[in-house]
Amino acid sequence: MIRITFAYLRVRWGEYALVALAVALIVAALVAQRAVTSSADGAIHDLAHRLGSNMLVLPRDQDVGDFHLQRYGPSVLPDASPVILKSSEIASDIRGSQARLYGHVVVGGRDVLLVGEEGSWPRSPVVGTAPAMLSPSAAGRLGFRPGSIIELNGASLSVAGVMDRPPDGLEDAILVPLVTAQQVLGQPGAINALRLAGCWCRIDVAALGKEVERILPGSRAITVAGVVKAQKGAVATMGRYAMALLIAGSLTVAGLVAALVSAQARRARRDLGLLAAIGVSPSVVAALFVASAGLSGIAGGVAGYLTAIPATRWLSARTLGAAASPSLDLFAFAVIGAGLVAAGAAALATRRAVALDPSEVLRES
């Protein structure tokens, strides 16, 4: 039977190869989509784990999406905001804070992000200048190295060092003390972002955010939990669409295979009649079609999974910022699923073929 099936496939290889190709494309899309969704879910878990219970406070008019795209509006908060919070009734819930002022400056004709940050700073290498730390990208792009002097809007900076690993989102930036940034950007006493860290697992974070907004008028508190919740919702939606996509893909595979087998059965009436005449039982005729379709489904599943590997890497690199690969579980799903769907569709389509009266077609020949 196996040999007969392979002999049959050898003759009809073109048609079955087309089916396998179609199956491969559908399987590749399904596997890549599922792998990216799964990686997105994992990435959100990582993010939540990494950020813990941080809270981001922005000026109310600042669009959050724009903020993450490093587009900063004119609205600001007072740089006394951390002190105000630490002297308020919610001080015990706040473990730490980091105030920043973000803005764009032009250095040597090139736009670069300037970030002013509170905290301890290294000594400036040149007396009378403010210290600046550069990301490797900014240093390379602007041609600066430690000790270089940067003149910016009347302020003199000297490069104290180039960071090995710049903070998240600051891959191309100059970091300076907050007061220096306020001077350079012409916004004395202002900040446009405040990160709060705390241990508020026992309290209502949403309520705490409302408190922050009340204590700092004109502010908006964004909790990581809220962002993660929103992102999880988006991933769950993707998951639901993935199921719809899976069903649609399976139906497409089944339809393709059923159409192929039906067409073949119509075209191969004479062969089928002959096989029946020489004693091939209906179940063997059905098995021939089902095995052929199942094999092309399996081949399509393997090819689809292999195609999904680079596709998943490409997609995840663009959507998640890190290359992901489909798991081996998905390989089994792709191969067994495609084989079963193809074989099942062939089994349905074969019913007419096995019911054929051989004498009808033998009479025609």
Contacts to another protein by CB under 8 A: 3-4, 7-8, 10-12, 270-271, 274-284, 357-359, 362-363, 365
Q: Closest distance between another protein and the C-beta of residue 266, in Å?
A: 17
Closer by beta carbon to another protein, 109 or else 279:
279
Token pair recorded at residue 60: 């109310």
DSSP 275: H
Closest to 342 measured CA to CA, from 78, 93, 19 = 19
Closer by beta carbon to another protein, 4 or else 238:
4
For residue 328, the Cα-to-chain-centroid distance in whole angstroms is: 19
Q: Closest distance between another protein and the C-beta of residue 274, in Å?
A: 4
Closer by beta carbon to another protein, 123 or else 363:
363
Q: Closest distance between another protein and the C-beta of residue 283, in Å?
A: 7
Phi first, then psi: give them for residue 121, nearest 5 degrees.
-120, 150
Q: Closest distance between another protein and the C-beta of residue 286, in Å?
A: 11
Q: Closest distance between another protein and the C-beta of residue 7, in Å?
A: 5
The length of the chain in residues reads 365
Separation of alpha carbons 32 and 13, rounded Å: 27
Closer by beta carbon to another protein, 115 or else 275:
275
Closer by beta carbon to another protein, 132 or else 276:
276
Unique residue bearing structure tokens 């990435």: 43
**H helical segments located in 268-327:** 269-277, 282-319
Separation of alpha carbons 240 and 59, rounded Å: 35
> Angle, nearest 10°, between helix axes 224-267 and 282-319?
150
Closest to 114 measured CA to CA, from 105, 123, 106 = 105
Check: CB of residue 125 under 8 Å from CB of residue 147.
yes
For residue 157, the Cα-to-chain-centroid distance in whole angstroms is: 39
Closer by beta carbon to another protein, 41 or else 271:
271
Closer by beta carbon to another protein, 16 or else 67:
16
163's torsion region: left (phi>0), alpha (psi -120 to 50) or beta? beta
Unique residue bearing structure tokens 């972002």: 193
Separation of alpha carbons 78 and 218, rounded Å: 10
Closer by beta carbon to another protein, 65 or else 279:
279
Q: Closest distance between another protein and the C-beta of residue 22, in Å?
A: 23
